[in-house]
Amino acid sequence: MFTYYLALGIRHLRRNPILTALIVVTLAVGVAASMATLTVLRAMSADPIPGKSDRLFTPNLDNRPDDGSSQDPRPPDQLTYRDAIALKNAKPGLRKSAVMRISPVVAPSRADVKPFFGDGISVHADFFKMMDVPFIEGGPWSEADDARGGHVVVLRESMAERLFGDANPIGKTLRLDTYDATVTGVVSDRWEPLPRFYRLVSGPPPFRGVEDLFIPWTTAIANQMQPQGNVNCFSDPPPDAPPGYEGLKQSECVWIQFWVELASPSDAPAYKDFLDGYVAEQRKLGRFPLPNNNRLYDVKGWLDVNKIVSKDTRLQTYLAFGFLLVCLVNCIGLLLAKFTARSGEIGVRRALGAPRRAVFKQYLVESGVVGLVGGLAGLGLTFASLWFLRKQSEEFAVLAKMDWVMLGITLAVAVLSSLLAGLLPTWRACQVQPALQLKSQ
Binding footprint of other proteins on the chain (CB under 8 A): 1, 4, 11-12, 14-15, 344-345, 347-358, 433-435, 438-439, 441
CB of 436 to other proteins, least distance (A): 9
CB of 15 to other proteins, least distance (A): 6
CB closer to other proteins, 284 vs 357: 357
- 57 and 297 Cβ atoms separated by less than 8 Å: yes
Q: In terms of C-beta density within 10 A (0-12 exposed, 13-18 middle, 19 or more buried), how is residue 359 classed? A: buried
Alpha helices in 47-124 (DSSP H): 81-89
Task: Give SS3 for 99.
Answer: strand
CB closer to other proteins, 10 vs 85: 10
How many CB atoms lie under 10 A from the CB of residue 7?
12
Beta-bridge mates of residue 121: 101, 214
CB of 342 to other proteins, least distance (A): 9
CB closer to other proteins, 29 vs 359: 359
Distance CA 201, CA 358 (A): 60
CB of 423 to other proteins, least distance (A): 19
CB closer to other proteins, 167 vs 438: 438
CB closer to other proteins, 60 vs 367: 367
Distance CA 130, CA 120 (A): 17
- 257 and 78 Cβ atoms separated by less than 8 Å: yes
Q: Give the distance from CA 341 to its chain's centroid.
A: 48
CB of 28 to other proteins, least distance (A): 24
CB closer to other proteins, 55 vs 350: 350
Contacts (Cβ under 8 Å, ≥6 apart) of 259: 56, 57, 58, 96, 97, 99, 127, 130, 198
CB of 32 to other proteins, least distance (A): 30
Tally the C-alpha atoms within 13 A of residue 295's C-alpha that lie toward its C-beta.
16
H-helix or E-strand spanning residue 330: helix 311-340
CB closer to other proteins, 262 vs 429: 429
Q: CA dihedral in degrees (330, 334, 336, 339; nearest 10)?
A: -150
Closest CA to 418 of 120, 28, 50: 28
CB of 357 to other proteins, least distance (A): 7
Distance CA 139, CA 129 (A): 10
CB closer to other proteins, 69 vs 441: 441
CB of 18 to other proteins, least distance (A): 16
CB of 311 to other proteins, least distance (A): 51
Distance CA 101, CA 46 (A): 23
- 393 and 208 Cβ atoms separated by less than 8 Å: no
CB closer to other proteins, 11 vs 110: 11
